[in-house]
Amino acid sequence: MKSKKITALLLVTAMTLGVIGCGSQGSKESSSSKESSQSSVESSAPKESTTESSSTVVEEEPAVDLSEHVDLTWYVSIGTSNDMEEVFAEANKIYEDKLNCNVEFNYLGSDYKTNMNLMIATQEEFDICYTDNWSLIYGDCVAQGGFLDITDMLPEVAPELWEYIPEAAWDACRINGRIYGIPNMQQWARRAGYLFNGKYYEEYDGKAVTDIASLADYIIRVSEGEKAKGNTWEYQADKNDWLYEFSQTVGWEVIGAKAIPGKATATEEHPTVFNEYLTDEFIEIIQAKARLYNAGCIPSDILTASTSYPSSNRIAVVANLGMSDEAEWQAGTFKDWEGVVMVPQGISMLTTDGVSATMTAISATSKNPERALLAYQEMFFNTELYTLISYGIEDKHYILDDKGRVEKIPNAGYSGTNWKMGNTFTGLIPSNYNDLDRWERTIEFNNNAIPSSLLGFSYDTSKCSTEIANCQAVVNEYYNVFMAGAYGEDTMKYYDEFIKKLEAAGVDTVIADKQAQIDAFLAGK
């Protein structure tokens, strides 16, 4: 690893790291006020950083005795690659030097959720793991007793980490006022919108698209126009979850798992929970998908095809745009499009769902939780370590281009994932980002997003677990078919059936339970 290049780039980044840190070293109240949460998100005043080089994390002696060597285990949902052990050996040189410990990294790939849930259920001993709100769900793992309460440990053992992460983000991680996980530092705010293949945008009047219905009209218009020219192809529209993407434009907060009915508008001071499947917006989406399916824009075998259709075939999509620009989409997902036109919609929101999308937790079975927390903090601030785990060994797995950005070497033998472990703002800029001030602008994007009035609210499913399970089963039966448009002409017939089954499953009980918990949460703030 050529640390001189890394250190030079870190110095640029370090000047902006403090703009989102505004916690205190003292103990926090179990539930912060809305005003303090909002001010911590919007703060832009830098604090002094003790990070002076890629190999320095905390200047003073840590509050943990490091004299005894320990072995730690860290589980992440990343696929395996040939040179993992070589990369891990280099990482452990840093850990041995800094913390007198060895970290056994375990990349589990597609089996991650199943294996980790089993480990938690059987109370198998491990130290650190990746968690989120969509696969190994943070709130569910806490409810099972899988993660350690680190609320009091954070300011004592990892004060720099405690100060760096904004208070609003810590609040988003709280469950009944306590913290069981650390939010991985990345783009938290959400902003959805439309992406168009530039090849068709002007000719077929893409500017006429103002909502989901007109988006479907546009895709069909392009399809029919190109067919008349003799140009036909499959997968012109997708089966993606347009309801979830749409909800981000209006600030609907996900409460519990995404499949559990019941959303709330996070911009309201005291949100009212509603059944999103009864909204005009949901009906508009499923009818738009059905029209696309009937027009042949969504392939009839989309739910059963053994191979995936290429993303380049799509005419337009709904997506979380976040901090991205058209050039990034062109260089990444849609490199085969003839230009990308990006049209943002709605507002940018900072929600519990956004902050908790990727997190790291200390296992309740860890024999060395303080050292595990320090190991995460080292990964969070140490650019050399973080870059090594994220991208591998320089000049073997990646190179730095003439602008100092990371460019992966194809088929090089190691593939990490930077957003699943630590702090992306500590790392280098990937080559697909054109702006060298990317991390500064991402921090600003997070800071300027509208904070949800439900930051820190965590839904407890224990009071109506039977109704929740029944509702989830109904959603699982119908939802993907709706999003594929595969009910076709019978969509509204199956929609009526879907709603009746949800009612029989106890959806009203679930909605009332969510509302009661939100009322209690807001009353206690």
Q: Maximum Cα–Cα distance for the chain, whole Å? A: 75
Is residue 281 situated within a structural domain? Answer: yes
pLDDT tier at 492 (50, 70, 90 boundaries)? very high
Q: What phi and psi values does residue 137 have, to the nearest 5 degrees?
A: -70, 125
Q: Give the domain extent around 294.
A: 190-347+460-525
**480: how many CB neighbours lie within 10 A of its CB?**
14
- What is the pTM (predicted TM-score) of this model? 0.77
Is residue 206 situated within a structural domain? Answer: yes
Is residue 454 situated within a structural domain? Answer: no
User: Per this entry, what is the length of the chain?
Assistant: 525
Q: What is the pLDDT of residue 61?
A: 60
Nearest residue to 57 via CA among 5, 89, 26, 99: 99
DSSP assignment, residue 356? T
With 0-12 CB in 10 A as exposed, 13-18 as middle and 19+ as buried, what is 151? middle
From 383, 414, 449, give the residue that closes a domain: 449
Q: What angle do CA 330, 317, 298 make, to 5 degrees?
A: 120
Average pLDDT of the residues in 400-427: 91
Domain count, the chain: 2
**Amino acid in position 415:** S
Ranges 254-263, 283-292, 314-323, 389-398: which has the least confidence = 254-263
Q: How far apart are CA 481 and CA 298, in angstroms?
A: 12
Higher local confidence (pLDDT), 483 or 23: 483
Token pair in block for residue 79: 């696929």
Q: What is the pLDDT of residue 434?
A: 80
Q: Are residues 15 and 161 in the same domain?
A: yes
pLDDT in tens, 350-401: 888 889 889 999 999 999 999 999 999 999 999 999 999 999 999 999 999 9
Q: What is the pLDDT of residue 487?
A: 98
Exposure of 154 in the CB half-sphere (CA atoms within 13 A): 26
Is residue 455 situated within a structural domain? Answer: no
Question: Is 60 exceeded by the pLDDT of residue 270?
Answer: yes
Q: How far apart are CA 472 and CA 257, in angstroms?
A: 9
Average pLDDT, the chain: 87
CATH classification of the domain holding 365:
3.40.190.10
Q: Are residues 328 and 397 in the same domain?
A: no
Q: What is the pLDDT of residue 34?
A: 33
From 418, 449, 480, give the residue that closes a domain: 449
With 0-12 CB in 10 A as exposed, 13-18 as middle and 19+ as buried, what is 326? middle
Q: Where are the alpha helices (DSSP H) in 351-506?
A: 352-355, 369-381, 383-391, 438-448, 465-484, 491-505
Is residue 169 situated within a structural domain? Answer: yes
Strand partners, 363: 147
- C-beta of residue 78 within 8 angstroms of C-beta of residue 27: no
Question: Is 60 exceeded by the pLDDT of residue 209?
Answer: yes
pLDDT tier at 431 (50, 70, 90 boundaries)? confident
Ranges 153-162, 234-243, 380-389, 417-426: which has the least confidence = 417-426
pLDDT tier at 60 (50, 70, 90 boundaries)? low
Average pLDDT of the residues in 160-182: 92
Strand partners, 192: 320
CA distances from 196 to 51, 69, 299, 312, 434 (A): 42, 55, 19, 11, 20
